[in-house]
Chain A
Amino acid sequence: MVTGALPNEKVEPSYLEVSTNKYKKGLLSWILSVDHKRIGVLYLYSMMAFFSVAVVFGFLIRLELIAPGKTIVEAQTYNQLFTLHGIIMIFLFIIPGLPAVFGNFFLPIMIGAKDVIFPRLNLMSWYMFVFGGLFAVVSMLLPGGSADTGWMFYVPYSVRTTTNVLPALIAAFILGFSSILTGLNFITTIHRMRHPDMSWFKMPLFVWSLYATAWIQVLATPIIGITLALVAIERTLGVGIFDPALGGDPVLYQHLFWIYSHPAVYIMILPAMGLVSEIIPVFTRRSIFGYKFIAFSSLAIAFFGSLVWAHHMFTAGMSDAAMFVFSFITFVLSIPSAIKVFNWISTMYKGSIQADPPFLYTLSFIFQFAIGGFTGLMLGALSVNIHLQDTSFVVAHFHYVMFGGTGFGIFAAMHYWMPKMFGRMYNLKVATWAWGIVTFGYNMLYMPLFVMGYLGMPRRYYDYLPEFQPYHVVSTVGSWILIVGLIIMFGNLWIGMRRGPKAPMNPWGGETLEWKVQTPPILENFHTVPDVHAGPYDYSKYEAKKETTK
Chain B
Amino acid sequence: MFSSASNFTDNVDAVFLYITALSLIVLVGITVAMIYFVIRYSRKRNPVPTHVEENLALEVLWTAIPLVLFLSMFYFGWVGYKDMRNIPDNALQIKVTARMWQWSFEYPNGLKTDTLYVAAGMPVRTELHSTDVSHAFFIPAFRVKKDVYPNKVNDLWFQSDKVGRYDIACAEYCGLNHSGMYTAVHIMEPADFDAWYKATSAKAGLQPLLTAAVK
- A interface residues, Cβ below 8 angstroms from B: 75-76, 79, 148-150, 154, 156-157, 160-161, 244-245, 249-251, 284-287, 289-290, 293, 315-317, 320, 323-324, 327-328, 331-332, 334-335, 338-339, 341-342, 345-346, 348-355, 363, 366-367, 370-371, 374-375, 377-378, 380-387, 389-391, 454-456, 458-465, 539-540, 542-550
Contact = CB atoms under 8 A, between A and B. Distances in A.
A349 B41 contact: yes
Contact of A331 (B55, B70, B138, B140): B70
Contacts of B205: none
Interface string B168-189: 0111111111111010000000
Interface string B82-106: 1111000000000000000000000
Interface in B55-83: 55, 57-59, 62-63, 66-67, 70-71, 73-74, 76-83
Given A157-B175, A390-B145, A353 B81 contact: no
Contacts of B85: 320
Contacts of B31: 367, 370
Nearest to B150: A244
A384 B74 CA distance: 10
B41 A334 contact: no
A384 B141 contact: no
Contacts of B37: 345, 348-349, 351, 353
Nearest to A334: B70
Contact of B134 (A157, A285, A348, A381): A157
A352 B47 contact: yes
Given A157-B133, A285-B49, A382 B77 contact: yes
Contacts of A363: 34, 38
A350 B41 contact: yes
A545 B81 CA distance: 54
B112 interface: no
Contacts of B78: 323-324, 327, 382-383
B191 interface: no
B136 interface: yes
The CB with the most chain A CB atoms within 10 A, among B55, B66, B80, B179, is that of: B179
A323 B63 CA distance: 25
A315 B172 CA distance: 10
A349 B37 CA distance: 6
A46 B38 CA distance: 35
Contacts of B63: 335, 339
Contacts of A349: 37, 41, 52
Interface stretch (B16-24, B192-200, B207-215): B16-24
B167 A383 contact: no
The CB with the most chain B CB atoms within 10 A, among A345, A387, A543, is that of: A387
Given A156-B134, A157-B174, A549 B146 contact: no
Interface residues of B, number: 82
Interface string B157-172: 0000000000101111
A160 B173 CA distance: 13
B43 interface: yes
B154 A461 contact: no
Contact of A371 (B19, B27, B145): B27
A352 B41 contact: yes
A154 B62 contact: no
Contacts of B145: 315, 386-387, 389-390
A76 B178 CA distance: 11
15 contacts: A79-B173, A150-B173, A157-B133, A348-B37, A349-B52, A351-B49, A366-B34, A370-B26, A374-B26, A380-B74, A381-B16, A383-B79, A386-B84, A387-B145, A549-B53
Given A320-B85, A464-B179, A374 B23 contact: yes
A435 to B, nearest CB: 13
B49 A458 contact: no
A244 B151 contact: yes
A107 to B, nearest CB: 27
B65 to A, nearest CB: 9
Nearest to A163: B175
Given A323-B78, A352-B46, 20 more contacts: A157-B175, A317-B146, A317-B152, A334-B66, A338-B62, A339-B62, A348-B37, A350-B50, A351-B49, A352-B43, A352-B47, A354-B43, A383-B79, A386-B12, A390-B138, A458-B179, A462-B178, A464-B179, A539-B51, A544-B51
A545 B53 CA distance: 11
B117 interface: no
Contacts of A352: 41-43, 46-49
A454 B37 CA distance: 34
A134 to B, nearest CB: 26
A348 B35 CA distance: 10
A2 to B, nearest CB: 21
A462 B74 CA distance: 34
B134 A545 contact: no
Nearest to B166: A456
A458 B170 CA distance: 8
Given A345-B34, A353-B42, A389-B171, A315 B178 contact: no
Contacts of A371: 27
Nearest to B61: A342
A545 B51 contact: yes
B75 to A, nearest CB: 9
A334 B65 CA distance: 13
Contacts of B52: 286, 289, 346, 349-350, 547-549
A15 to B, nearest CB: 32
A546 B54 CA distance: 11
A367 B34 contact: yes
Contact of A374 (B27, B149, B170, B182): B27
A378 B13 CA distance: 11
B107 interface: no
